[in-house]
Structure 1
C-alpha cells in the first residue's frame, strides 16, 4: 500500500518549494512593483494601476493550480500511510484534506479571472471598477482564509494521529501540531508560510525514506 507515497513524497518537496516561491512573491516581486505595504493589496486606488500596467500579476494567481494539485497528491499519500495505523481517523482526515485543495483552486480561479476582468474594465475607464475590485478581494480572501483553516485542521489531525498511532517521527509530528494551530488561528501569515515550507519538505523526506526502507 505505497502507491501514492512516492509521488506524494516528491509532491511534498515541491510544495515546500512553492511556499518559498510565495514568500519570494510577497517580499521581492510585489515590492518591485511598488507594493511595499501589505494593506495596499486591498486598496483599489493602489492596485488597479499596477494590475493594469503589469499583467504578470494575474499570472501569479495561477500558482494556486499546481499548489492545489500537489496538495491533493500529498493528502492521498498521507492517507495511504495512516490507513495502516488508524484507518478510521485516516478516512476523516482524507475528507478534510481534499476540501483544502478544492478551496485553494477556487481561490486561484477567482484571483486569475478577477484580475483579468478588473484590469480590462479599468483600462476602459468604466465606472464601478473600485467596487468590483473590493468585492473580488473580499470573496477571494474569504476562500483563502477558509483554505488555510481547513488545511490547518488537516495538518493538526494527521500529526495528532501520527503521535498516537505512529507514522511520522515525533519531532515532525509535534512540529506539525504547531503548524496546524498556526493555520487555524492564522498566526502571522508569513510565518505560517515559512512553517509550511519546513513541514511539507520534512514530510516529503519522510515519505520517500519510508519507500526506500
Structure 2
C-alpha cells in the first residue's frame, strides 16, 4: 500500500511535468503557419512530423499510462472510507485514461495518413486532417468533462473520508468543475483547467509522497 502511494505521488508529479512541457512546447516552440495555404501547412507538418509525433505520444499516450497508475493509487487510498464514491470516481478515471491514450494514437496515425494524402490532393488532405483534429479534440484535447468528473468525484470522496488536506480537496472541486464546464467550447476554460491541473497534480503528488514518508 505504502509503495503504491509513493508510486502514485511520483505519477502525479510526472503528470504535472507533462502538462508544463506541453504548454512550453506549443507556446514557445510550435509555430504552425495558420495563415498559409494547404500546401505550405502540410510542408510544415511533414518537416516537423517526428517531433510532433513524439510530443503527441508524451502528451497523450504516456500521460494516459501514468494516469492509470495514479487512478489505481488514489482508489486504493480512498476505498476504505469512501468505497462508493471512490469506485465511481475510478470508473471515470479509467475512461479518461482510455480517451487520452486513444487521442494520441488517433493524432499520430491521422497525421501520417493526412501527410500521405497531401502529396496527391492537399485540399482533401486538409479536410481529412481537420476531421481527425476534431476527433482528437473531442476525445481528450479540448473536452475535459470526463477528467473533470474524475477529479470532482475523488475530491468529494477524499473530503468524506478525511483524506488529503481540505484545501487540496476544495481546490480539486474547483478543478473538476472547470473540467466539466469545458463541455462548452471555449479555449479559456480548457486553459484554466490545464493550468489548475498542473497545480493540483503537483500538490497531490507531494501530499502523497509526504504522507507515505510519515
- Answer whether TM exceeds 0.5 for this pair: yes
Residues 1:210 and 1:135: Cα distance change in structure 2 (over 3 Å): same
Report the alpha carbon displacement of residue 163 of structure 1 after superposing the two structures with TM.
1.6
Q: Cα RMSD between the aligned structures? A: 2.1
- 1:98 correspondence with 2:99: no
Report the alpha carbon displacement of residue 45 of structure 1 after superposing the two structures with TM.
6.6
Report the alpha carbon displacement of residue 190 of structure 1 after superposing the two structures with TM.
2.1
Contiguous gaps of at least 5 residues in structure 1? none
Moved more, 50-59 or 154-163: 50-59
Alignment of 1:13-92 (within 5 A): 13-30=13-30, 33-35=31-33, 40=34, 47-55=41-49, 56-63=51-58, 64-92=60-88
TM-score normalised by structure 2 residue count? 0.88
* Preserved contact between residue 52 and residue 123 of structure 1 (Cα < 8 Å): no
Report the alpha carbon displacement of residue 101 of structure 1 after superposing the two structures with TM.
0.8
Residues 1:46 and 1:12: Cα distance change in structure 2 (over 3 Å): farther
- CA distance in structure 2 between the partners assigned to 1:46 and 1:149 by the alignment: 34
Superposed structure 1 runs of 4+ greater than 4 Å apart: 43-46, 124-127
Report the alpha carbon displacement of residue 199 of structure 1 after superposing the two structures with TM.
0.3
TM-score normalised by structure 1 residue count? 0.88
The size of the alignment, in residue pairs, is 206
Structure of higher RCO (CA pairs closer than 8 Å, 6+ residues apart):
1
